Chain A
Amino acid sequence: MARKVPEVNASSTADIAFLLLIFFLISTTMNVDTGLTRMLPPMPEKDQKQDDVEVKRRNIFTVLINKSDRLLVRGEPMDVQMLKEKTKEFIMNPNNDPNLSEIEEKEIPMIGRYRVSKGVVSLQNDRGTSYEMYMKVQNELVAAYNELREELSTSVFGKPYQKLSKEEKDAISKAIPLRISEAEPKNVGGK
């Protein structure tokens, strides 16, 4: 007759596993980092002459934020909610309005002839502007570009921008280049 092996008491394994589990619960985080990606302009060389690139006035979409978080868009006060629509209108310029951005017909691979805008969005803020407002404005501007790209993507390729291949994405970003520039900081309203 085979000898019975005595059973090992395993009731403490659960306790050990719980200890490990609790350790991991408190010492780790689960958050995924998200954010708005942006490129800063390189610092101008010291001996380089400050020759501003000539951009015609009609091609600049100036957005100013003052220290009490108010918006001034092309000389007119505006609400944040309106900003996205105005930006889209400025970039696309559907009716060839001489006040909005210049349009240039260009040949783009995979899309064909497309009216590429020369418009530049220029964002300027004050030292006293709150970061929350600044992010709201940044977000609206990016949203305007993203929506235009989304529209072009669905009309040309028939699928959303996220599902495009690399070449198709490149073609779209050539047709609608993201041009948001931040002016050199100025200190107007104090701290």
Chain B
Amino acid sequence: MATFKRKGKNEIQAISTASLPDIVFMLLFFFMVSTTMRETTLMVRTQLPEATEVSKLEKKSLVSYIYIGPPTKQFQALFGTEPRIQLNDSFKTLDDIRDFIASEREAMKEEDKPLLTTSLKIDKDTRMGIVTDVKQELRKASALKIVYAARKAE
């Protein structure tokens, strides 16, 4: 008579997790190639306006950024809520723009210097007064190529 033999204890085989690192590494590489490092910490709120006719910025190395907007929460006690200009990592005034453009130019290669583009990231609730002032300063610094940063509206 046939008897059913029990094979020891009914143990469940451990699931092999050997491929888990591979999967995570794949994700890691995807993020490494498709993202860019955060360059500056934003100290102003920049909610960009929407536009339909936007074009992509091609060469990021030719672009320098000017942020204008009301300071974020943690700076409001110090700087108030009026829109301010941020260059690199700190609040600046209108007079600093020319120095900023000059130093950005200095950092570029000789043949790229005429291609310097300034991207204006401006909060949509900002009044045009400060924007006009900034534009006048840029004209004085002869940084004439500008981009009004905007989100693509569908």
Q: Which residues of A does B touch, CB under 8 Å?
A: 10-11, 13-14, 16-18, 20-21, 24-25, 27-30, 32-43, 125-132, 134-136, 138-139, 142-143, 146, 185, 191
Contact = CB atoms under 8 A, between A and B. Distances in A.
Contacts of A13: 21
A39 B145 contact: yes
Interface stretch (B3-11, B99-107, B108-116, B129-137): B129-137
Given A10-B21, A35-B119, A39-B145, A24 B31 contact: yes
Contact of A37 (B27, B38, B55): B55
Contacts of B140: 43
A74 to B, nearest CB: 21
Given A14-B17, A20-B28, 7 more contacts: A17-B21, A34-B55, A35-B119, A36-B147, A36-B150, A38-B148, A131-B123
A77 to B, nearest CB: 19
B124 interface: yes
Interface of B: 17-18, 20-21, 24-25, 27-28, 31-32, 34-38, 49, 51-57, 60, 63, 117, 119-120, 122-129, 131-132, 135-136, 138-140, 142, 144-152
30 contacts: A10-B18, A13-B21, A21-B24, A24-B32, A28-B38, A33-B119, A33-B149, A34-B54, A35-B120, A36-B53, A36-B55, A37-B147, A38-B147, A40-B144, A42-B139, A43-B142, A125-B132, A127-B129, A127-B132, A128-B128, A128-B129, A131-B122, A131-B127, A131-B128, A131-B131, A132-B125, A134-B128, A135-B51, A135-B150, A143-B52
A139 B53 contact: yes
Contacts of A135: 49, 51, 124, 148, 150
B24 A191 contact: no
